[in-house]
């Protein structure tokens, strides 16, 4: 046993990942029910991973989030995780383009007992974000929506997070294509937008940021000015 001389970025051992999930038990009956109802509603299986949901809860707790924004509601799973970290005094504004998805999420929040802490906005996110600006500054912004929109969502977060607030961006590895010089096998505009998002987050001067090596990459920045 010993630490390797060169420590790699991430750990791709599936047996270790399974062991971690057994230890930390990130999925409970309520979250499993959200996934089940989403399948029954023929929604895309693009929820955050089990451990990623736990990451959201713990990060929300760590930064003391009470006012948060989520861009990309889907069935409400990630929103429930965020609210668990925000506590009874927290409020989440969540934005979902698809009305059918928003209705599934509404039921999820009701079953979780947090419907009074959530405002679901249906429609284009950038239009809805402008309507909640007066409620800022916010403590946390979680981005998990159309990848081409990530640069614009980050620009909004720069202006409407408090100093010390956190921005999170899921799927930051662009589904494994982020580092490729030729994106022929991927949605090139989306991959390029993710690259711009990460470049601005890393070097724009408003955040001190990192990229957590989850399976899909979770970008995290703390606003410093």
pTM of the model: 0.94
Residue 119's SS3 state is strand
Per-residue pLDDT tens for 75-89? 999 999 999 999 999
Q: Where are the alpha helices (DSSP H) in 98-213?
A: 99-112, 125-132, 150-160, 188-203
Q: Is the pLDDT of residue 3 over 60?
A: no
Q: Is the pLDDT of residue 1 over 90?
A: no
- Segment 1-23 shows an average pLDDT of 79
Distance CA 38, CA 147 (A): 21
Both structure tokens of 11: 């750990």
Q: What is the pLDDT of residue 176?
A: 82
Distance CA 28, CA 128 (A): 32
- Segment 112-129 shows an average pLDDT of 97
Both structure tokens of 32: 């499993």
Query: What percentage of the chain carries pLDDT values higher than 90?
Result: 84
Confidence band for 179, pLDDT divided at 50, 70 and 90:
confident
More confident residue, 204 or 12: 204
- Segment 159-172 shows an average pLDDT of 97
Both structure tokens of 192: 């390029």
- The mean predicted confidence, pLDDT, of the chain is 93
Q: What is the pLDDT of residue 80?
A: 98
Distance CA 165, CA 55 (A): 16
Q: E strands, the chain, where?
A: 67-71, 91-96, 118-122, 138-143, 161-169, 207-212, 218-223
Which one of 180-184, 185-189, 218-222 scores highest in mean pLDDT?
Answer: 218-222
Task: Answer yes or no: are the C-beta atoms of 102 and 73 closer than 8 Å.
Answer: yes
Q: Is the pLDDT of residue 140 over 70?
A: yes
Task: Answer yes or no: are the C-beta atoms of 78 and 114 closer than 8 Å.
Answer: no
Question: What is the length of the chain?
Answer: 225
The domain spans of the chain are 14-223
**Which residues, 6+ apart, have CB-to-CB distance to 106 below 8 Å?**
76, 115, 120
Residue carrying structure tokens 């929040």: 109
Q: Is the pLDDT of residue 177 over 90?
A: no
Per-residue pLDDT tens for 42-58? 999 999 999 999 999 99
Q: What is the pLDDT of residue 65?
A: 98
Query: What percentage of the chain carries pLDDT values higher than 70?
Result: 95
Q: Is the pLDDT of residue 188 over 90?
A: no
| CATH architecture for segment(s) 14-223 | 3-Layer(aba) Sandwich (3.40)
Burial 176-205 (b: 16+ CB within 10 A, else e): ebbeeeebeebeeebbbbbbebbebbeeee
Distance CA 84, CA 105 (A): 16
């Amino acid at each position: 046993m010993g630490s390797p001389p060169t420590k790699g970025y991430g750990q791709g051992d599936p047996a270790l990942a399974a062991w971690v999930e057994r230890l930390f038990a990130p999925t409970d009956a309520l979250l499993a029910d959200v996934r089940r109802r989403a399948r029954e509603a023929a929604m895309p299986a693009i929820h955050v991973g089990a451990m990623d949901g736990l990451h959201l809860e713990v990060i929300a707790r760590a930064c003391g989030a009470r006012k948060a924004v989520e861009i990309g509601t889907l069935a409400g799973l990630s929103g429930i995780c965020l609210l668990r970290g925000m506590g009874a005094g927290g409020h989440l504004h969540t934005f979902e383009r698809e009305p059918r998805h928003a209705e599934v999420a509404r039921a999820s929040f009701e079953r979780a007992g947090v419907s009074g802490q959530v405002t679901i906005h249906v429609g284009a996110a950038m239009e809805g974000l402008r309507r909640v600006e007066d409620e800022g500054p916010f403590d946390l912004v979680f981005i998990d929506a159309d990848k081409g929109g990530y640069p614009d969502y980050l620009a909004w977060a720069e202006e409407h997070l408090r100093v010390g607030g956190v921005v999170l961006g899921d799927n930051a590895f662009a589904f494994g294509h982020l580092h490729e010089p030729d994106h022929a096998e991927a949605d090139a505009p989306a991959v390029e937008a993710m690259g711009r998002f990460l470049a601005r987050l890393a070097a724009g001067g408003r955040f001190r940021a990192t990229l957590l090596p989850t399976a899909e990459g979770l970008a995290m920045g703390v606003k410093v000015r």
